[in-house]
Amino acid sequence: MKNFIDNVMARFKEKYDAKDNDTKSTFIDLPPDIKQSSRTSQYDNSDSDDIDNLATFVLSSDDLTSRQNDQIIPSNQNLKKGRWVTQYESITIHGRTIERGFIYVGAQLDTLVGYGIEPSLIDERLSVSPPKFIHSMTTIYSDESLGYWPAYVQLSPACRGIYLDWLASDRTHPNIPIGYVFIYFNGLERRVIESISEDNVSDDEFISLYNEVYRLHTIYGEQSSFYNYSARLLEFMTLVRSPLFEDRLQANQVSPPPANSHNLIFKMQLAKIVTLKQPVPTTLAWEWLVFSNEYHFKTPARRCASEFKDLFDVLYQKAYPKGFMVAPNKTKLKLNYNAASRAIGYVDLTLDDLQDASVLKAPVKKLTAIAEQCNEALDAYSRYLGRDNNDKMDIDAILLLPEVLTERPDYQNKYPAIKDFKLWAESIVLNNEGLTTVDALWRCIHERSSNAPASSHALPRSLTKKHHEHIINLAERVGFGVVPDPRYYQAKLKSDGYVVIFRGGHGHDFEPSAAFYQISLALRLGAMVATIDGHVDKQEVDTLLTITEQDQSLSSIEKSSLKAYLLWRLNTPSNMAGLKSKLSALSEDHVSFISHFIISVALADGQVKPNQVKQIEKLYQALGLDKQAVISDIHHITSNRNLSKTTTALNQKADIMGDAISTAVKDSSHQPFVFDKELLAAYESDTGDAKAMLASIFADEDIADDADEDSGVLSDAPVDDDTAHNTLVKGLDTTHSQLYQQLISKEVWQREEAEVLCESLNLMINGAIETINDWAFDNVDAPVLDDDDNLVIDFEIVDELKTLV
């Protein structure tokens, strides 16, 4: 046999000048504007550095040249030289008919390096066990002769027989010891390496070899060592004849090589990009980060790998829309292939005209910065998935994903909760103008969460701040807004109430204008007037809608939100129980301002009808105002607006003078709603903020309670037993701090004793639990109190709260 190393070196130094009619593709595909490099190869018989334990192997101290066999090989100077049996050739060996080849058969075939016999060579002179038919349920025999680096010549007769039986089968037995597969794989590997220096392997055979290795990889790739070796060989083959594979890979005619730690393809692609002075694309940037020794992936990248990769792609494209450029360096590109067979060792290819940019550190720093952004954005999501019984399909998990991911169509299809909610919201807007019950909304969200416990399907008695955030965030993720949104309206969702969904949503940058707050308050008061008698007149609704539609100072988002708010207000009974007490505490000037404001809303369309006067009187009475003052208040407002020159008739009783009132204002043109300017100016000159006063007066009771809560964390200062219950917790008021400190003194509280504890602090247990859990959610995204039959303290969350500063 001619010297293999010399032939390889000579082959590598050939010009890159393959002709179109060649039967064999050239080695290494270089772009036409990159000059041919001088290529050198080095073979070495040192052991591979990948020493994964093979679970089915029995380790042996024997080697290729010294083994005691029960088989004595006859001495013969004219040994039959080993030959390659092709894929389409049938051969019979010891009573087994092997229909397809891919094997070396003969008595003499040296290793490519060192001394010894090719481990895959089937020597027909050696004795074997009788033939045995192998099927998927057959128990496969093996013994100590099947060592770590197995060779056919070293096997016992029984193992040789089993190996030949497997070759005669379809070679798919799922539980065959991996050593047998490696003997077969060594022959395929040798054939590929030989093809580099010899012209006896056609492109068709090379593709057949690739497909056979890939088939083995899919069947036996669960064994880690075989996965790595087979994946590396497949990668190496695509580089050895890259022109042969390029079109076939793009056309899906062959499967791409599996991922592996030997980044040969990446290095080659990066070298081409740098040499051609092209920007680094997203896919190559990600591979650079993966293969770099300068960066180690943190927990979010390991726990939620696909989301991390997708987010990296998004952020890289945002930072470098066209990719970043890399200046060529001086380090020459080397491609190393470590063979599975000891008869080959390793191949070291140096390409002088290509630079190894993968060793550069500056570009990796840019990629590391993006990776750290991904870690930060996915940290909460990762921590959620790290807790017991949590699943990425949970609605809570989905809401922790960055919106740049969940707004993508593929993510909305990937997560049923998002996709189903979007379809449901579309139907509600289309069929019912967005109006639905909170109960229906809750069921739509939580019954679609795949891993949610049954208890989470039930609508709670009251919705916490965290509940509101979940609902609003999910709606915004799919392009909808929710009304009432506590961030912009002085109201919260009620478990037994309604909610309105509108297209577009408020968006991230929504900043309500002064006009928005004025109109929202006007709509609330208008809804009070319109619904005071339990019936809503269409004309009144049209009037209130006109207030919104004709105000040119409102943005389109504000108008959409306000229309939804009006629909919600008209379907939500106004709670005026606490308004009397609030108004009774105001000064006479303040009360006068409120009453005049109500009239200003009622006169928004420039008309006052008798039934409206009666409704205003009822509203005055419900608010504890003097209903006899309605006529004079109307007179005052209409005078300021110059709506009529003859308003003295307004001093008569409303029930007999309705026509006069209507006549007095009927000529007024419809104008966008504005507060009575003189009224506002006078009030603001006295108090400085009319809007704030009105908002506080007409805010829902539960909103006012929320405003008193301050966000913060538990102090980690040492607390002794005598003062523990009096320690003030950051973010909780004094009373709730005392309750929290007492609750964390033990893990489980009976419901009754927890109620007694709350009563001693003048707290209602449900509200107290809600307040403390809201505080915990604000800081660690998890509740600290589990309110079931008993009250259970989550001490992991307690410890997490203590570590915050």
More confident residue, 73 or 174: 174
Q: What is the pLDDT of residue 664?
A: 36
- Using one digit for the tens of pLDDT, what is the confidence trace for 710-760? 333 333 333 334 444 456 777 888 888 889 888 988 888 888 888 888 888
Quick one: which of 726, 718, 679 has its CA closest to 802? Answer: 718
Q: What is the pLDDT of residue 457?
A: 65
- What percent of the chain has pLDDT above 70? 74
Q: What is the pLDDT of residue 548?
A: 87
What tokens does 782 get? 């998890």
More confident residue, 111 or 58: 111
Quick one: which of 338, 452, 455 has its CA closest to 48? Answer: 338
Q: Which of 151-160, 415-424, 481-490, 640-649 has the highest mean pLDDT?
A: 151-160
Q: What is the pLDDT of residue 764?
A: 82
How far apart (Å, rounded) are the C-alpha atoms in residues 621 and 624?
Answer: 5
One DSSP character per residue, 649-683 reads: GGGS-TTT-HHHHHHHHTTPPP------HHHHHHH
- Using one digit for the tens of pLDDT, what is the confidence trace for 69-89? 444 455 555 678 999 999 999
Average pLDDT over residues 532-539: 74
Average pLDDT over residues 45-62: 32
How far apart (Å, rounded) are the C-alpha atoms in residues 486 and 473?
Answer: 13
Q: What is the pLDDT of residue 725?
A: 47
Which CA distances in Å does 418 have to 107, 398, 441?
66, 8, 13
Residues 274/357, Cβ–Cβ less than 8 Å? yes
Strand ranges in 9-119 using DSSP code E only, listed in sequence order? 39-44, 83-85, 91-93, 96-98, 103-105
Q: What is the pLDDT of residue 580?
A: 65
With a cut of 80, say whether residue 351 has pLDDT above it: no
Q: What is the pLDDT of residue 462?
A: 83
More confident residue, 18 or 80: 80
How far apart (Å, rounded) are the C-alpha atoms in residues 452 and 446?
Answer: 7
Q: What is the pLDDT of residue 640?
A: 64
Cα torsion 678, 680, 683, 685 to 10°: value is -80
Neighbouring residues of 191: CB distance < 8 A, sequence distance ≥ 6: 84, 102, 201, 209
**Reported confidence tier of residue 375, pLDDT bands at 50, 70, 90:** very high
Residues 343/185, Cβ–Cβ less than 8 Å? no
Average pLDDT over residues 418-427: 90
How far apart (Å, rounded) are the C-alpha atoms in residues 249 and 721?
Answer: 71
How far apart (Å, rounded) are the C-alpha atoms in residues 121 and 730?
Answer: 76
With a cut of 80, say whether residue 63 has pLDDT above it: no
Strand ranges in 547-608 using DSSP code E only, listed in sequence order? none
Residues 595/622, Cβ–Cβ less than 8 Å? no
End-to-end CA distance of the chain: 75
Average pLDDT over residues 320-347: 90
**Reported confidence tier of residue 695, pLDDT bands at 50, 70, 90:** low
Q: Look at strands 748-749 and 83-85 and give their pairing.
A: unpaired
Average pLDDT over residues 238-261: 88
How far apart (Å, rounded) are the C-alpha atoms in residues 265 and 240?
Answer: 11
Quick one: which of 206, 151, 213 has its CA closest to 179? Answer: 151
Measure CA 561 to chain center.
29
Average pLDDT over residues 278-295: 94
Mean pLDDT of the chain: 78
**Reported confidence tier of residue 799, pLDDT bands at 50, 70, 90:** confident
Which CA distances in Å does 132 have to 101, 209, 410, 718?
19, 27, 51, 76
Taking the whole predicted model, whether its pTM rises above 0.85 is answered as no
Neighbouring residues of 763: CB distance < 8 A, sequence distance ≥ 6: 735, 736, 739
Q: What is the DSSP letter of 621?
A: H
**Reported confidence tier of residue 93, pLDDT bands at 50, 70, 90:** very high
H/E element, 332? strand 332-338
Q: Which of 36-40, 195-199, 377-381 is predicted least confidently? A: 36-40
Average pLDDT over residues 253-272: 88
What tokens does 777 get? 């959610």
How far apart (Å, rounded) are the C-alpha atoms in residues 356 and 394?
Answer: 44
Residue with token string 């290509």: 354
Q: What is the pLDDT of residue 71?
A: 42
What tokens does 20 get? 């179109």
Quick one: which of 501, 509, 505 has its CA closest to 479? Answer: 505
How far apart (Å, rounded) are the C-alpha atoms in residues 210 and 187?
Answer: 13
How far apart (Å, rounded) are the C-alpha atoms in residues 324 and 280?
Answer: 6
- Using one digit for the tens of pLDDT, what is the confidence trace for 33-42? 444 433 334 4
Three-point CA angle 316, 322, 327, nearest 5°? 95
**Reported confidence tier of residue 694, pLDDT bands at 50, 70, 90:** low
With a cut of 80, say whether residue 366 has pLDDT above it: yes
More confident residue, 101 or 262: 101
Average pLDDT over residues 783-795: 83
Average pLDDT over residues 672-700: 52
How far apart (Å, rounded) are the C-alpha atoms in residues 793 and 23?
Answer: 75
How far apart (Å, rounded) are the C-alpha atoms in residues 178 and 48?
Answer: 18
Q: What is the pLDDT of residue 436?
A: 96
- For the chain, what are the domain ranges? 83-265, 266-338+345-386, 395-503, 514-706, 709-803
Give me the helix-helix angle, 178-197 and 224-240, nearest 10°: 20
How far apart (Å, rounded) are the C-alpha atoms in residues 201 and 210?
Answer: 12
- Evaluate the CA torsion angle 695, 699, 704, 710 in order and state its sign: negative
More confident residue, 303 or 346: 303
How far apart (Å, rounded) are the C-alpha atoms in residues 773 and 78?
Answer: 88
How far apart (Å, rounded) are the C-alpha atoms in residues 248 and 639?
Answer: 85
Q: Which of 225-229, 333-337, 578-582 is predicted least confidently? A: 578-582
How far apart (Å, rounded) are the C-alpha atoms in residues 110 and 119?
Answer: 9
Quick one: which of 240, 284, 246 has its CA closest to 263? Answer: 284
Which CA distances in Å does 569 have to 42, 62, 110, 506, 562?
82, 87, 90, 18, 10
**Reported confidence tier of residue 692, pLDDT bands at 50, 70, 90:** low
Q: What is the pLDDT of residue 106?
A: 95
Q: What is the pLDDT of residue 94?
A: 95
Quick one: which of 237, 244, 172 has its CA closest to 210? Answer: 237
Give me the helix-helix angle, 556-570 and 514-531, nearest 10°: 20
- Using one digit for the tens of pLDDT, what is the confidence trace for 643-663? 443 333 334 433 433 343 343
What tokens does 646 get? 């003859």
**Reported confidence tier of residue 803, pLDDT bands at 50, 70, 90:** low
- Using one digit for the tens of pLDDT, what is the confidence trace for 452-507? 555 556 888 888 888 888 899 889 988 999 999 999 987 889 999 999 999 999 98
| 3-state DSSP assignment of residue 553 | coil
Residues 420/365, Cβ–Cβ less than 8 Å? no
Bridge partners of 332?
355
With a cut of 60, say whether residue 29 has pLDDT above it: no
Scored b (16 or more CB within 10 A) or e, 602-638 reads bbbbbbbbbebbbbbbbbbebbebebebbbebbbbbb
Q: Which of 79-83, 440-444, 447-451 is predicted least confidently? A: 447-451
What tokens does 81 get? 């030289």
Which CA distances in Å does 151 have to 67, 121, 169, 224, 614?
11, 8, 20, 20, 104
Residue type at position 415: Y
More confident residue, 116 or 59: 116
Strand ranges in 370-514 using DSSP code E only, listed in sequence order? 435-437, 480-483, 498-503
Average pLDDT over residues 329-342: 88
How far apart (Å, rounded) are the C-alpha atoms in residues 563 and 432?
Answer: 14
| 3-state DSSP assignment of residue 133 | coil
| 3-state DSSP assignment of residue 741 | helix
With a cut of 90, say whether residue 306 has pLDDT above it: yes
